[in-house]
Chains A and B, each alone.
Chain A
Amino acid sequence: MPGPVKRRLTVHHKLLLAAAVFLMVGDTLCLAQSPAIDLGEASLEELMNVQVYSASKHIQNASDAPSSVTVISADEIQKHGFRTLADILGAVRGFYLGYDRSYRFAGVRGFGPPGDFNTRVLLLVDGHRINDNIYDQAMLGTEFPVDVDVIDRVEVVRGPSSSLYGSNAFFGVINVITKRARDIDGWEFSFEPASFETYKGRATYGGTTKGVEMLFSGTFYNSAGQNLYFPEFDTPLTNDGIARKLDYDRYHDTLFKLAYRGFTLQGVETWRNKGLPTASYGTEFNDFRARNADQHQFLDLSYSSTLHNSWQMTARTYYDRYAYDGIWPYSAAQTNIDYARGQRWGGELQFRHRLLRKHDLTVGSELRYNLQQDQKNYDTNSPALYVDDHRTTRMGASFVQDEFSISSQLKLNIGIRFDLYQRYGASTNPRAGLIYQPWGKTTFKLLYGTAFRSPNVYEAYYGTGSGGNSGFSLNPDLRPETMRSIEAVCEQQLGPHVRLSGAVFWNYLRDLISLQQDESSELLIFRNVDKVQAAGSELELSTQFANGLAGNISYSYTAAKDQRSRQLPVNSPQHLGKLNVTVPLLSRRLFASGDAQYESSRKTLQGNEAGAHALFNVTLLGRAINKRLDLSTSIYNLLDRTYFTPGSGDLTQDSLEQDGRSFRIKLTWHWGARH
C-alpha cells in the first residue's frame, strides 16, 4: 500500500494509545480521591456505599446460552492428564483430531479438510483472538501459546458465532480462560518427564501487591521425539524410510497478567521449533535441516466497568506479532525458506445493558489494523524471490445482540454483526435462538445462524513473485466463504447429578476456499469452489457426584456430502464416540481417570481409508501429597493401537501413523498461603 495509508494508521495508533493512557491516569486519580476501604472491618452501611466496578466475572449458565456449550475445567485437565489444547478438544463431543508431525488439526462435526489450518474455528485466549493474520491458523498442539496448566477453563461454543465474533467463527469458538493470580496464590513449580525423551518444566507465581494482582508463568519444553518409519520412502536411497531425530519438538511459553481494579494487562510470548520428518512439499527425506519455527507474541489491555444505570462496559486494545519460518531442504546445496511475518493492532468496545428487566442488550464494535502481512519464499543460495508479498489491511465491525425474556419460560436471543473488510467488502451475519424452558429441568433451543470466513493473505497472495516460480498462482478475487446452520438442542436434567443433552444440526457451507490446480498454467491456486452439506445428531450424558465421581459419554453421527463430487468429504468420520470417567479412590486425594475415543473410518485424499479406531488414555492423580505435591502418571494409547489420520496435499504420505503407547509423569509443587 502507498505511503498515505501508513501515515493515517499511525495517527490512529496515537489516538488509541492516548485513550488507553487517559484511562489509566483517570483511574489513578479516582484512587487518590478515596482511600481504599478495609472490607473486612467495614460496617454494613459503609459497604452499601461501595461502588461495584467489575461484574464481568459472573458465571454464565450454560443452559441460557444460545448455543450448545461444553466447558472443560482446570480440575478435569489435571485429572485426565491432558497435555495440550488438542488433547482437551479430543475428549469433547463432535471434535476429532489429526497430526501431521508439524501441527495439530481439529475437525468438527464431519468437516476437517486436511491442510486446513483450523481456520474455521475461532480460538481466543481470555477473549483475545489467536488465529494469526497470515494463515488464520488456530494453534492447538504444542504450538498453542499458553501452557495448559495455566488454563482455568476452556469454553467450547458450537455452531456459527460470526454474529458476535466475525470471521473464523464457523463451527465454533474455543475460548481459553487463563487462571487469575488468586487461583495460584503463591508459587507453583511443575516438572514432567514423558516418553520419547520429553521434558517439560514450568514455574508460575500469582500474588497481590498493593491491589495489583500479578501472575507470571514460564514453560520450557523439549522433546527428542521418535525415529519414524514411513513406508512411502522405504528405498535404500532414502534411508529405508526411516527419518532419524527429526520428530523433535521444542518450545517455550511465557505469560504475564496484571490486574488492577477493572484493568487487565496481559502479555504472551511463545516460540516453537518442530522438526519435519515427513519430507513435506517434496523436500529431501531424512534431512536434519527440515523444520518449522513459529513465534507468537501479544500484549492485550482490557478494561471493564459498570457505568451509570448498570451499563456494563468492556474495552480492549491489543498488539500481536506472528512469525513463521519454514526451513525446507531440497538438496545438500538448496535450502528453501518459507517466511511469514504478521503484526496487528486493534481495539474493541462493548456495552451491555439490562433494560426493563426483560432485555439484556449487548452492543459493540471492533477495529483491526493488520500492520504487516508479509510472505516470502526463496532459496538461501539464490537472490530470486519465488514469493514476495507485503500487505497492510484493515477491517471494522459492529454488532448488536439482545436477549429478550418473553416470559419466565421463553427467551429469544437475536443478534447481528456487520463486518467491513478493506479488501473483500462487507459481510452481515445474523443469529437467532429461541430458548424454551417449559419446566425447570428441561431446556429446548432452536438456533439459526450464518457465519463467514474472509480469505486470508496466504490464500489470496501466496503466488509467483518477480524472481521465479513458486508453483502457486495468486487469486485476489477470492470471496469470503459462508455457512448457514440450523440446530435444535434439548437439555434435560435428570436429578441433581445427571444431565442429558441432545442436538440435531444441519450445516451448509458455500464458496469454500480450497487449493486447486489451474488447468492452463498448472499452478496451484486457491478458489471458492467447494460446497459441503452436513447433517447430524449428537447425544451426551454427563454425571457428576459430590465425592468426585464424574462421567461423560457422548455419541455423534454426521452425514456430510461434498456437493461437487457428490461423495463423502475427505477426513470426515461418520461416527464419533467419547467416554470420560473419573473415579475417586481415596476421598479428594487420589483419582483414577480414563478417557476413550472412538472414530469410524475417514476417507483420505487419494481415496483410501484411514481405518476406524478406539483410543484409551488413563491417568492416576494424587493430590496434596505432603500438602504441597500433586503427582500424576498417565498412559496414552493404553492398548498401543496402530492408527492413522489422513495426510494433506503437501505430503507424499496419504495417511500418517499416530503415536503408539506413551507415558507421562507429572509433579507439581505448590508454595503459598493456602498450602
Chain B
Amino acid sequence: MLQVGPASIQGGWSKLAVLLFLPIFALQAAGQRASEYQLKAAFVYNFTKFIDWPGESVRSLTFQICVLGQNPFGSELTQLTDGKVIEGHPVQVLIVTNYHLARSCQVVFISASENAHMKEILSALRGRSVLTVGDSQGFVDAGGMIELLVEDERMRFEVNLHAANEARLKISAKLLSLAKAVLS
C-alpha cells in the first residue's frame, strides 16, 4: 500500500474542486426543457392523435392508456391526460401488472422493468388492436410498435409498421414522416 503524507495531498485540492464543478455551468444549454418522463407522457398521448383504431376495438366506456410493470411516469401521464378525449372516449390511465389485463387497453406502455419477458408480452398482445409503446433499447426490433429514445437531448421515436398493420392500427403518414426510423 502506498503511503502518502498530508503535505503531498494538500496542494491540488482547491484546483481540483474548481475543475470538478466548472463543467456544470459551462455546459448549461438553453431552450425548452422538460423531464424525461414528462416528455414521454406527452409523446404517448400525442401518438394517439395520429392513429386510428378499428371501430370495434374501443368497447369500454373509456379510452384506456395502460402502463405495464413498474410505472416510471409517477402521476405525469394521469395529469397530462386529465380531461382529454380520444376517439370520442374520455382517457383513463391504468397501471397493470399483468399482460393479460393489458389486452383490453388501447395503448400499453411497457416499462423497462418487464425487459426480461418482453418477447412473451408482445406475443401475447399480437393480433389485438393494442398500440404498444416502450423505451427499452431494441423494443421495435422485439416486435413493439413505437420505441421512444433520447438522442442528442431530444426525444425521438422509431415505428414498427408491420406490427401496427398486424394489429389493424392505421398510422398516419405524418407520424411516419416524423419517425427516426420505420420498420416495415
Contact = CB atoms under 8 A, between A and B. Distances in A.
Instruction: Tell whether A pairs with B.
Output: yes
Interface of A: 5, 8, 11-12, 15-16, 19, 22-23, 26-27, 30, 33-34, 37, 39-40, 42-55, 57-59, 61, 63, 180, 182-183, 185, 261, 303, 305-311, 313, 315, 347, 349, 365, 367, 394, 396, 420, 422-423, 425-427, 440-441, 479-480, 493, 496, 544-547, 673-674
Nearest to A480: B1
B37 A57 contact: yes
Contact of B4 (A311, A315, A426): A426
Interface centre among B20, B112, B119 (most CB of A within 10 A): B20
Contacts of A311: 27
B35 A52 contact: yes
18 contacts: A12-B17, A22-B25, A23-B25, A30-B28, A34-B31, A34-B33, A39-B80, A44-B50, A47-B42, A50-B32, A52-B39, A57-B37, A182-B74, A182-B75, A367-B17, A396-B16, A425-B3, A425-B4
Contacts of A53: 33-36, 153
B75 A51 contact: no
A315 B27 CA distance: 13
Given A19-B24, A420-B9, A306 B74 contact: no
Interface stretch (B53-61, B96-104, B126-134, B160-168): B96-104
Given A57-B37, A425-B3, A49 B152 contact: no
Contacts of B112: 58-59, 61
B65 to A, nearest CB: 13
B184 interface: no
Contacts of B37: 57
Contacts of B80: 39-40
Contacts of B181: none
A367 B16 contact: yes
B173 interface: no
Contacts of B86: none
Contact of A40 (B3, B23, B84): B84
Interface string B1-12: 111101001100
Nearest to B5: A425
A303 B24 contact: yes
Interface of B: 1-4, 6, 9-10, 13-14, 16-18, 20-25, 27-39, 41-43, 45-46, 49-50, 70, 72, 74-76, 78, 80-81, 84, 96-101, 111-113, 115-117, 119-121, 150-156, 175, 178
A356 to B, nearest CB: 14
A312 B151 CA distance: 12
B68 to A, nearest CB: 10
Given A440-B116, A546-B98, A52 B153 contact: yes
A30 B33 CA distance: 9
A493 B116 contact: yes
B30 A33 contact: yes
A426 B1 contact: yes
A208 B98 CA distance: 31
A441 B117 CA distance: 8
Identify which of B14, B24, B33, B70 gathers the most chain A CB atoms within 10 Å of its CB.
B33
A52 B155 CA distance: 7
Q: Which of A51, A185, A496, A545 has the most CB of B within 10 A?
A: A51
- Looking at chain A's contact residues, the main secondary structure is mixed
A427 B3 CA distance: 9
A185 B32 CA distance: 26
A30 B39 CA distance: 18
A52 B178 contact: no
B4 A313 contact: no
A311 to B, nearest CB: 8
Contacts of A16: 17, 21
B154 A54 contact: no
A674 B75 contact: yes
A59 B32 contact: no
A22 B24 CA distance: 9
A394 B7 CA distance: 12
Closest 9 CB pairs of A and B: A546-B98, A19-B21, A39-B42, A182-B74, A425-B3, A51-B33, A50-B32, A307-B27, A546-B97
A12 B14 contact: yes
A425 B151 contact: no
Contacts of A309: 152
A27 B100 CA distance: 45
Contacts of B121: 496
A49 B42 CA distance: 13
Given A15-B14, A44-B175, A53-B34, 20 more contacts: A8-B10, A15-B21, A19-B17, A39-B42, A40-B84, A52-B34, A52-B36, A59-B113, A61-B113, A61-B115, A261-B35, A303-B24, A307-B29, A308-B152, A311-B27, A313-B24, A396-B16, A420-B9, A422-B6, A425-B3
B74 to A, nearest CB: 4
Contacts of B49: 44
A315 B36 CA distance: 18
Contact of B24 (A63, A315, A426, A427): A315
A215 to B, nearest CB: 12
B69 to A, nearest CB: 9
A603 B16 CA distance: 49
Nearest to B2: A426
A45 B157 CA distance: 12
Given A26-B25, A426-B1, A440-B116, A48 B32 contact: no
A422 B9 contact: yes
A425 B2 contact: yes
Nearest to A16: B17
Nearest to B178: A44
A542 B16 CA distance: 47
A474 B27 CA distance: 48
A183 B31 CA distance: 28
A305 B32 CA distance: 14
B33 A11 contact: no
B118 to A, nearest CB: 8
Contacts of A44: 43, 46, 49-50, 175, 178
Given A34-B31, A347-B20, A546-B96, A50 B152 contact: no
B28 A57 contact: no
A52 B84 contact: no
Contact of B28 (A15, A27, A34, A55): A27
B169 to A, nearest CB: 17
Most chain B CB within a 10 A radius of its CB, from A11, A52, A396: A52
Given A19-B24, A59-B113, A365-B20, A427 B70 contact: no
Nearest to A357: B137
Given A44-B178, A307-B27, A440 B119 contact: yes
A54 B38 CA distance: 10
Contact of B153 (A45, A51, A423): A51
Contacts of A308: 27, 29, 152-153
A182 B76 contact: yes
Contact of A50 (B33, B96, B120): B33
B24 A23 contact: yes
A674 B77 CA distance: 13
Contacts of B21: 15-16, 19, 315, 347, 349
B38 A39 contact: yes
